[in-house]
Structure 1
């Protein structure tokens, strides 16, 4: 996730020579992007001046290993912006202190192309300027929303943080269905990818309700209706009750539970 966000910032000119990237396991491609952007890569932590913002973008299981260095780097007014799933504000306040401005954020991987979706939750120390800075950084890679109840962040993680994987799996499943119906694999892949990408863009540009867009495609007793009979059963008038909706609801509930488990 950190890499996706960094790519977005570099492409949008947000990340510049004043920035520092600390990643002992950085790959050759990312290292090249970082150097081209003029960012400082893996300096000694003790020699880095207190930054205006520290973005903590590591896997939740790795957070304990990086917190000590982050605490050493932070100044009193440094904004801590975390994108680690399941890691709570209370956990960061235990490390940095309750007076440190801390924002827990959950972006998703489309941030790499400027089409991310990020939801943020601030602690009490976050000022209006801190919110504006976080919003500016995150809007450079997509849309931003704020919640005032941290308990909602687990469901946010399950819907939008993990959501791209559900869409990618839909493409895999559509490809498999096309192959099973007799299409050459290369054509099935192309059709599935282009259809999902195009439908998403149509929904974004039109602003119409997803249900209305679905109904616009569905002719009575036609091919789409036959497929939706399988995906929705007898519930085309109630999209929340069909087999596919039930399966996705169970999947999102499982991801929500896991996010809470990661929070301890």
Structure 2
């Protein structure tokens, strides 16, 4: 299951500093170093320029300092760092022990700073959106497109990719057509008054709940159709699109949270 990050992040008051060599998916270490080097250099210079480049509000100058101290700041598990609607609904910390073990092996979070991280990876809080362009690096999304394919394929193995990412982070890695039969992209539609549309809050909360339910159930669907059947068994209304070159889209239709 591939999740987006959250813009909001918790900041631990204590903990070891970042150890890139200790993170999972070690093939990404050099690519991670390149992003960190660029972001730290940017945020250690002119704060106003950094804020403009990163889209940081003038009311939150502390976010620039947060990025400048990435190498020395306290870290915590990624599942404690990421916050927001999706992660509140997922509530990884309250999963059963078996489900939490499954999360460590089956869930990855797309990260502008680290590419992909496991919930168990220890990372510092940071501010870096997926549509940012960094000096000396270029677009963050383009950077990761050049580095994620082999690692993502290896992590996927022979299983099914349940893609729950938002559009910005879906651009970091687009599964090639040869993986299409094993890719299920989940979209959440809010239905009200006979009309359907994507509503951010419903979308994020439902994706968090879907991830939680699949982890607690221990479900291992191998195809998009099997995933749709599993979600229906778990109580959701699911519509399946025809397979395409990039996989199969599953629309989960909700009317209330």
Using structure 1 for the length normalisation, give the TM-score: 0.30
Name the one with the larger strand percent: 2
Using structure 2 for the length normalisation, give the TM-score: 0.31
Rg larger in 1 or in 2? 1
